[in-house]
Amino acid sequence: MIVDVLVLAALGAILGLDVVSFPQAQISRPLVSATLGGAFMGNAGVGLLCGVLLELFAHETLPFGASRYPEWGSSSPIAGAAAAAGAAVGSVPMSLLFAVPFGLLTASLGGWSMVQLRQLNARLARRRLDALARGSARTVAGLQVAGATADLSRAGLVAMLAAIVALPAVRWIAVQPAPMSVYAIPMLASLGGAVAAGAAWKMFHSTSGTRWFGLAGLAVGALLVSLMSRG
Amino acid sequence: MSGASEPTPPAAPPIAAPAFPFRTRAAIICRLFAVQASWNYEILIGNGIGFCVEPALRLLPGGAGSEEYRAALARQSQYFNAHPYLASFAVGALARAELEGQPPARIERFRTALCGPLGSVGDRLVWVGLLPACSFAGLLLFGVGATALTCVLVFLVMYNAGHVALRLWGLQMGWEKGLAVASALGHPILREGPVWLARAGTFLAGVAVPLAVMRLVDGGGLARVGLTLVTAAAGASALVLFHGRVEGWRLALLAGFAALVLFLFRHA
């Protein structure tokens, strides 16, 4: 358990750093990071299920500049790992029913911690404005390194706290007999589908012609669903 | 009214492009990936721009530590705002302007003018274009039954092909155009790219969301999948109706935990 928490904290730190500081390659997206968390716990497939659900929600929260948004990099690997850890001992639906909202909650906490980090960076920069005005290369590089280090620590701390709570909780929840758990995944899928579809409309509706592309996509999607569901 | 027209002064000789050695270019490219490392509410990515331009400033007369170098670095580390990927346009242009010895006041005016366009174009091209389109492509692959590795790799390769190309192209364009880099912002990729990425994203969303929901529900036949999709469509309509007043992911968080408690409590 301790090793799991430490490794997941390190994974969360690296993926959390990707969100803003370095390198912004979107390895922090839930689709990737929850799958990695699941793979670490031995079940990439369940990690992917959790990642897909979180990814559907993530479309609503785009990382625009100074806006406050959930931070998926440190939260999603823990959610994916929790889903996989629960699936290893009990029910997949109940594991996901815990892991997905827990991932959303942790992402929200991560978003708050990013605001604190930006305020810390501002304080550090304010104290060094004189050195910056003198053109000190050491100060410029120092602020970058300090910011990245603080971000790495922030994400690692969020991930570690989340893993400490999530792993024992999901192992308990997954083994509880819950006859209604059959509704868990359809409910999460409905919520995720609703949020992603609503977000797609919000993002794209103001661009000319997108309505027809959306309708064409829906027609293809509906056709594929009807064919594959029968199959 | 004077009848004689004044003679046109001779045009200023064009400033020759300074050399841009490979090592300097490579150092700037590496630093561009960390341009936001000290992002803050005070100077935004200003310090990051200074950090990225700094390798080029070492080429100034007198080298690192000289009076020119320090003055230029001080100018480049002030407040700046841009999309992180499109900041490469600014970095290339500002590095060239400094090495050409452009007047400081002109460089500062140019920096100020560049902030807005680089932010808004980047947001539309990347955050509302490339990222959702690649994400929906990954979800589409999941929906048709692709493995975890395929979904993840295709998403990452698609996204980062665009992401890295944009950073490299931006640096090159910035360096080539210098203070005239604003003309590059009218390039078809930046002008039409967001529109076509939005159209691709909408099409992919239309295909991917139903397929992803279907695979998540995994079995139960058309009726169960259909019921889940109809519920999702109703939820999406409600979110569109309450656009700006309700955040779906927050509602989902509450609904998820409420269902968890209910499912556990109903058994107990």
Per residue in A118-148, pLDDT (tens digit) is 999 999 999 999 999 999 999 999 999 999 9
Q: What interface predicted TM-score (ipTM) does this complex get? A: 0.97
The CA distances from residue B187 to A21, A215, B184, B193, in Å, are: 28, 29, 5, 9
If you average pLDDT over residues B174-202, what whole number do you get?
Answer: 94
Closest C-alpha to B91, from B149, B6, B32, B4: B32
Instruction: Indicate if the pLDDT at residue A179 is higher than 90.
Output: no
CA A202 to chain centroid: 21
- The pLDDT-based confidence of A91 (bands split at 50, 70, 90) is very high
Q: What is the per-residue pLDDT for A180?
A: 87
Q: Which of B77, B164, B229, B261 to mutate to test the interface with A (most CBs of A within 10 A)?
A: B77
pLDDT at B13: 53
For residues A11-40, average pLDDT: 98
Q: What is the pLDDT of residue A63?
A: 87
Cβ of A137 under 8 Å from any chain B Cβ?
A: yes
Q: What is the mean pLDDT of residues A53-78?
A: 93
Indicate the pTM of the whole model: 0.94
In angstroms, rounded to a whole number, what is the distance separating the alpha carbons of residues B199 and A207? 8
Task: With CA atoms as reference, report the closest residue to B42 among B78, B83, B86.
Answer: B78
Per-residue model confidence as pLDDT tens digits over B240-255:
999 878 899 999 999 9
**A182 CB near a chain B CB, below 8 Å?**
no
Residue numbers of A between 57 and 86 with CB closer than 8 Å to B: 57-66, 70
Mean pLDDT of A14-41: 98
- Count of beta carbons in the 10 Å neighbourhood of residue A179: 9
Q: What is the pLDDT of residues B107-116, one digit of tens each?
A: 999 999 998 8
Query: Mutate which of A21, A140, A152, A224 to disrupt the B interface (most B C-beta within 10 Å)?
Result: A140
